[in-house]
Amino acid sequence: MRVTIADVAREAGVSKTTVSRVINTKGEVDGSTAARVREVIAQLGYVPSSGAVGLARGSSRTVGMLVPSLTWPWMGEVLQGVVDTVEAADYGLLLFTCNRGAESVERFTSQVSARAFDGLVVVEPENTLDHLTALHRGGLPIVLIDDRGHHPEFPSVVTTNREGGASAARHLLAAGRTRPLVLTGPQQFGCVRDRLDGFRTVLPTDLVVQGDFTERCGRQVVEQLLADGVEFDSVFAHNDISAAGVLRALRAAGRSVPDDIAVVGFDDIPMAEHTEPPLTTVRQPTRQMGEAAARLLLSHLGGTAVPDEAVVLPTELVVRHSAP
């Protein structure tokens, strides 16, 4: 059962008006009383509604952010872009993850019901799009980062995945590589399909293996192909983590990178500069994606109409030693 302002008032031995004044820093409240109220709020886990938090200003001036997990390699950059933007606008940020599946979604939904925030930035956790769409239709402003090809009915910020794949292929082709291996991510993701399609428009190949974006997968796929005698002169991995596994397997097999086999990744996470050799990759503007999504949401909260089409930010090929 959700904790209410009445519960806080009863536990602290004060009126609901006093609790509201403490939350809103409005009116005169004795210092020791205010401290006791804040202590009770923390003990009970009370989440004020937007009405309580914004009694005089009509909003919570807080933005929510929902993500699958903070362990995703590029999530920190996206989050920093959101934080920088909302804090500059004098908004707070509530962060929710879906590490515990349905339990996490239920907890998040309770915060929506409490109107603890005015709008939501989302990196879509798996199997939540229908739920998010229902919340949007119910009046919650939402902006999605990386729509994974789902094209929701609410605003989104995406990157040029197709062009990113094509740029990787053009670079390899210009270097004389004609027998590429493409190691994808899960095919249900629209970004994966776009990266593969873009690559194949420039450099057709049938040597395509579906992966899961992990270092272990990149390593095992290459180990197996080499053991089977499959010939390839380059690898386009759909993220930098799996590309790192590819590099590790090639090194263990005595294959020289890039002399024998060139390797290109995708994302340009900080690790990409520190692989052996440093990784050529397609950079996603992850921090700018967070900034753009937060700006869209704040503009909407300020009364500005949001665009019907997704905001598209460009990818960029970053050339390093793995594929010069």
64-123: pLDDT as tens digits: 999 998 888 899 999 999 999 999 999 999 999 887 777 777 777 777 766 778 999 999
Q: Are strands 156-159 and 316-318 parallel, antiparallel or unpaired?
A: unpaired
Q: In what order do the strands lie in the sheet with 62-67?
A: 92-97, 62-67, 119-122, 142-145, 156-159, 311-313
Q: What angle do CA 164, 222, 264 make, to 5 degrees?
A: 25
What integer is the mean pLDDT of 288-306?
Answer: 93
pLDDT band at residue 51 using 50, 70 and 90 as cut-offs: very low
- The Cα 303–Cα 305 span in angstroms is 6
Task: Encode pLDDT of 10-24 as tens digits.
Answer: 999 998 888 877 776
109 contacts 128 by C-beta, under 8 angstroms: no
How remote is the C-alpha of 313 from its chain's centroid?
14
- What distance in Å separates the CA atoms of residue 226 and residue 261, rounded to the nearest whole number? 12
pLDDT at 53: 47
pLDDT at 50: 46
Cα 293 to its chain centre, rounded Å, is: 11
Residue 264 has pLDDT above 60, yes or no: yes
d(CA 288, CA 144): 14
Query: Helices 240-252 & 215-227, crossing angle to 10 degrees?
Result: 40
The secondary element (H helix, E strand) that includes residue 122 is strand 119-122
Pairing relationship of beta strands 208-210 and 180-184 according to DSSP bridges: parallel
Q: Give pTM, 2 decimals.
A: 0.79
Q: Which of 101-105, 106-110, 165-169, 301-305 has the highest mean pLDDT?
A: 165-169
Q: What is the largest CA-CA distance in the chain?
A: 79
The residues near 147 (Cβ < 8 Å, ≥ 6 apart) are 124, 156, 158, 190, 310
Beta strands in 37-106 (DSSP E): 62-67, 92-97
CA–CA distance, 129 with 152 (Å, rounded to integer) = 8
Mean pLDDT of 267-271: 95
Closest CA to 26 of 35, 37, 17: 17
Measured distance CA(264)–CA(244) in Å, rounded: 10
Tokens standing for 277?
Answer: 């050799």
Tell me which of 23-27, 30-34, 135-139, 263-267 is least confident: 23-27
**Dihedral angle over CA of 169, 170, 176, 182, nearest 10:** 0
